[in-house]
Amino acid sequence: YDQIASDDLTSPVLDERYVLRQAGNLLNRLGSVKGQCILDLGCGQGKLSKALAAAGAQHIVAVDVSIAYLQRLVGVSRITPILANAERLPFRGDFDLIVCTDVMEHVLNLGSFLVSVNWALREGGI
């Protein structure tokens, strides 16, 4: 994944307009995220993480398996980049909201992924 990420950062796989529109559409569906603690799982280039921060999220944890993507988010206000596998997240009841786009097709064990995401949510989280 590090090579894929490095290649994507040099010559993006997806058109930036598509990625930004996808982030905007998701934000519109979510409604207000002000004050929420959010996990952006499989954050990629971090465009959704940045959009969530701009929309008023209290804190975003941006998780990816690629250090190349995460390095771009170091020092960005209200975003904490973390290297982790989506099937074994190091969180328990930490997030009000978890967003995840274009990730499930990459996990090896979908059941482990879903359990890990469920454990990371606070009671009543989305």
Output Rg (C-alpha) for the chain, integer angstroms. Answer: 14
What are the distances in angstroms from CA 124 to CA 19, 72, 74?
A: 28, 31, 30
The shares of helix, strand and coil residues in the chain, as percent rounded to the nearest 5, are 40, 15, 40
* Cα–Cα distance, 56 to 71 (Å, whole number): 22
Q: Looking at residues 31-45, what average pLDDT do you find? A: 96
**Range scoring the smallest mean pLDDT among 4-13, 46-55, 87-96:** 4-13
Cβ neighbours for 108, distance < 8 A, ≥ 6 positions apart: 87
72-125 residue pLDDT tens = 999 999 999 999 999 999 999 999 999 998 898 889 999 999 999 999 999 999
**pLDDT reported for residue 24:** 93
